[in-house]
Amino acid sequence: MSEPGRRGPKPRYSVDQVVEAAVAVADAEGLQAISVRRIAQELGVSPMSVYTYVPSKAELVGLMFDRILGEVDGPPPEGQGWREALTFVACERWRLTERHPWMLDLALHRPPLGPNLVARHEIALRILDATGLDDLTKDLVIDVLHSFLVGALLEAREAREAERVSGITDEQWFAMAEPALTAQLDADKYPHVLRLGEAWRKADKAVFADPLWRFKFGLGVVLDGIGALIQARSPGV
């Protein structure tokens, strides 16, 4: 015997379509533009209609976050060591945040535990399986890596925003500020700062000022630290 049909009009949209509309708004205008009223306008429905799909703005933002995590290319290629695999994961997160910068504005200390977030954490834990670290230490290692990623991504976004607002690049800013700063510094008190300024003048600024290059350099340092921890925890060391 077939089940009776649902009473009332057929919904115009699916939850996925509502979430997609919200992601499009956030991509274009930032997370601060997200509200139930705004998404209702985008869809051409009343705000009360949106509540039939998602019970609150917080729920909507949680669904947006998990949907974005589903965009990654999947687990790292088979046969990679833990370092190469974590590099793959970190670079995927960089590309993901470049497409959706508003992700950095989410409070992620207690992130929404959606299926894509859980799947990404499972992949990260699996990557560290062969290191010999216990499960709690693996989780702490992932947290350290995540903290670096968030910091590096925020720095890159701030650099782009500073250039957009000021109209000058970091290289141009340093070229203007450095002579005045150097003239005021006492060589006996600040020899290392002055030496750094000299090194920066001689450096290939197209490389050192590039956010992606700096991201990969920092990632390498973090992975070196993880490698040292793995070595220290290895039996017989």
Mean pLDDT in residue range 212-223: 94
Whether residue 142 is found in the same domain as residue 219 = yes
Residue-wise over 66-102: b if at least 16 C-beta within 10 A, else e?
A: bbbbeebeebbeeeeebbebbbbbbebbbebbeebbb
Mean pLDDT in residue range 126-142: 94
Q: 157 with 98: CB under 8 angstroms?
A: no
- Per-residue pLDDT of 95-127, as tens digits, reads 999 899 999 888 666 667 788 989 999 999 999
Whether residue 43 is found in the same domain as residue 105 = no
**Domain count across the chain:** 2
- In three state form, how does the secondary structure of 128-173 look? HHHHCCCHHHHHHHHHHHHHHHHHHHHHHHHHHHHHHHHCCCHHHH
Tell me what the pLDDT averaged over the chain comes to: 86
Confidence of residue 68 (pLDDT cuts 50, 70, 90): very high
Residue 203 forms part of a structural domain: no
Domain around 35: 15-69
Whether residue 148 is found in the same domain as residue 37 = no
Residue 10 forms part of a structural domain: no
Residue 202 forms part of a structural domain: no
Whether residue 48 is found in the same domain as residue 93 = no
* Residue 211 confidence (pLDDT) above 70: yes
pTM (2 d.p.): 0.81
